[in-house]
């Protein structure tokens, strides 16, 4: 990840980190220690590299029909997520 961040920086590319949406049956069964560690490492990395981060894991805009299964979006959900992500990424330059 450090190499990727450096590569992006040296090529003037904005690296953006995201956590994708999942249905509650998926995130309710995640190992809480692993999830906490993932968030700790993610937040440390984004702070060290001054990166934007979008967390959609428990995003309430996604409903059952948006998922193919508990951790994969359906076609409808993928289109919805693409629009949301596009809007959020475009907002980076306006802050």
Q: Which of 92, 46, 66 is nearest to 19 (CA)?
A: 46
Q: Is the sign of the CA dihedral 17, 23, 24, 28 positive or negative?
A: negative
CB neighbours of residue 27 within 10 Å: 15
Closest C-alpha to 25, from 80, 79, 76, 62: 62
Q: Distance between CA atoms of 63 and 60, rounded to whole angstroms?
A: 7
Where residue 44 sits, what CATH number does that domain have?
3.40.50.1110
Domain, as residue range, for 81:
2-92
Number of domains the chain contains: 1
Residue pLDDT tens, the chain, 95 long? 999 999 999 999 999 999 999 999 999 999 999 999 999 999 999 999 999 999 999 999 999 999 999 889 999 999 999 999 999 999 997 65
In the chain, which residue ranges form alpha helices assigned H by DSSP? 2-10, 24-27, 32-49, 75-92
């Amino acid at each position: 990840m450090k190499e990727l961040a450096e590569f992006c920086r040296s090529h003037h590319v904005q690296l953006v980190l995201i956590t994708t949406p999942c249905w509650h049956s998926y995130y309710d069964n995640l190992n809480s220690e692993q999830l906490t560690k993932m968030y700790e490492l993610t937040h440390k990395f984004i702070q060290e590299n001054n990166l934007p981060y979008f967390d959609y894991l428990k995003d309430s805009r996604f409903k059952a029909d948006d998922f193919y299964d508990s951790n994969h979006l359906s076609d409808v959900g993928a289109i919805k997520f693409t629009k949301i992500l596009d809007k959020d990424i475009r907002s980076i330059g306006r802050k």
